[in-house]
Amino acid sequence: MTAEVVSESSRVNLFRRLWPVLKWVLFALVIVFVGQRAWKLWREGDVGSVTIHWRWLLAAGVLYLIGWLPSVLLWHRLIHGLGGTSSRFDVARAYFAGHLAKYIPGKASVLIVRAGMLADRGCRPSVSALTSTYEVLVAMGVGLAVGITMAPVVWPKTVIGRFPPAIRSAFEHPMIFGVGVVVVCVALVPFVARVLGLIARRLTPPVTLSPGQLVTPSDSNTPTDPSPTQIGGTFLLGWCFFSVTTWLVHGLSLGCTLQAVGVEASMSDWLIWTGDVASASFLGFAAMFAPGGLGVREAALLELLMSQPGINPSQAAAATVLLRAAWLVAEILAAAALSWRGFRKLTRSASEGDRFK
């Protein structure tokens, strides 16, 4: 082993030891910055204009859950396409429980929780983890595409003004720019499908069943199950278009939240809300150091809302905080309700089995 190889190995090991510390430092700095920014805007704005309307927050939470249904259906379809037999109910239960796991440090927590909940529900752990990775990448990839498509009317002018002249001139024609983004995305789908498979396999942690049916990351590089097949370009394109509805519905959820804090929201701003939510959610997803994108998503959404007319600083700060709260409560209630129903079904099946013994 040469000195260069030893030196490179030492640097890699040092980075692995320092990364957890650096990650938490970055997360803490983001939380402090966003908190100070939100508090400053709250005090600078018209606090008296913020009146909480709880029925609109309830609607925001319900719409948030509805918005994820295309992703639930996509995950179910992928599982069955790779030989799984899990029911839609079990898939939905694991999906929303996994959503809560995103607040556990480490993005792989979501995959591990979902794989564990489906391990005895008709899906091999490796298939569950890989298909869940596909679903996440599709949803967030579409979110990125939607955010870029709406960038000319959503992104702050101060940000657009820093772009090179050629890009700024393209942003001056939102309709042409948006159509161009969609055409490029459609043309790239076959290539993206191949890349998506490579990324999904790279990001999916190997999982094995430990005693007691607990799913944990595997320490072995030897696959325990047959490798799933690559998804096709036509299949991906169809589900990408379907996944756009996720962001449209989440945009409505943001609109309801704005209405809840006293903003005179209009349905004519629906696409703007959609662009705001898609852009902020993708940035939160991309921030690997922030569990659940906490702080990063709020920072982005706060600035996006501040650039929209008719929203004062206090309303922007309140809407940003309440949107996270409404979505988190909705996830908790959905996971609890589905888990309770699953427990009741399991108990009922066990009772019927004892009766016929």
User: pLDDT value at position 226?
Assistant: 39
Bigger pLDDT: 200 vs 203: 200
Q: Which residues contact 189 (CB under 8 A, 6 or more apart)?
A: 233, 236, 237, 240
The domain segmentation of the chain, as residue ranges, is 63-340
Query: Do residues 293 and 287 lie in contact, with contact meaning Cβ atoms separated by under 8 Å?
Result: yes
User: For residue 208, what is the enclosing H or E element?
Assistant: strand 207-210
Query: Do residues 79 and 86 lie in contact, with contact meaning Cβ atoms separated by under 8 Å?
Result: yes
pTM of the model: 0.83
**pLDDT interval class at 211 (50, 70, 90):** very low
Query: Do residues 70 and 242 lie in contact, with contact meaning Cβ atoms separated by under 8 Å?
Result: yes
Sign of CA dihedral 50, 41, 289, 68: positive
Is residue 222 scored above 60 in pLDDT?
Answer: no
Cα–Cα distances (Å) from 90 to 86, 142, 247, 335, 344, in that order, read 6, 25, 24, 11, 13
Cα–Cα distances (Å) from 273 to 36, 302, 308, in that order, read 24, 12, 10
Q: Is 339 exposed, middle or buried (0-12, 13-18, 19+ CB in 10 A)?
A: middle
Cα–Cα distances (Å) from 303 to 4, 83, 159, 284, 296, in that order, read 46, 45, 10, 14, 11
Is residue 91 scored above 90 in pLDDT?
Answer: yes
User: pLDDT value at position 343?
Assistant: 56
**pLDDT interval class at 14 (50, 70, 90):** low
Is residue 224 scored above 50 in pLDDT?
Answer: no
User: pLDDT value at position 301?
Assistant: 94
CA distance 200 to 182: 23
Of the ranges 10-24, 123-137, 194-208, which is most confident?
A: 123-137
Across 195-199, 209-213, 241-245, 336-340, least confident range: 209-213
User: pLDDT value at position 7?
Assistant: 55
pLDDT tens track for 103-133: 887 667 888 889 889 988 888 888 888 888 8
User: pLDDT value at position 142?
Assistant: 95
Q: What percent of the chain has pLDDT over 90?
A: 39
Is residue 214 scored above 50 in pLDDT?
Answer: no
What own/partner pairs with CB < 8 Å and gap ≥ 24 does 222-230 have? 223/126, 224/125, 224/126, 225/124, 225/125, 225/126, 225/127, 228/82, 228/126, 228/127, 228/130, 228/131, 229/82, 230/193, 230/194, 230/197
User: pLDDT value at position 12?
Assistant: 56
**pLDDT interval class at 143 (50, 70, 90):** very high
Burial annotation 233-258 (CB, 10 A radius, 16+ → b, else e): eeebbebbeebbebbbbbbbbbbbbb
Average model confidence (pLDDT) across the chain: 82
Please give the backbone phi and psi of residue 162, each rounded to the nearest 5 degrees, phi first. -85, -5
pLDDT tens track for 160-195: 888 888 888 888 888 999 999 999 989 988 888 887
Bigger pLDDT: 95 vs 111: 95
Bigger pLDDT: 166 vs 138: 138
Q: What is the mean pLDDT of residues 36-54?
A: 81
- Nearest-5° angle of CA 23, CA 26, CA 32? 140
User: For residue 63, what is the enclosing H or E element?
Assistant: helix 54-67
pLDDT tens track for 226-281: 344 567 788 889 999 999 999 999 999 999 999 999 898 889 999 999 999 999 99
Strand partners, 208: 216
**Which candidate, 277, 275, 319, 313, places its Cα nearest to that of 153?**
275
Query: Do residues 98 and 112 lie in contact, with contact meaning Cβ atoms separated by under 8 Å?
Result: no
pLDDT tens track for 284-327: 998 888 888 888 999 999 999 998 888 989 999 999 999 999 99
In the chain, helix, strand, coil percent, each to 5? 75, 0, 20
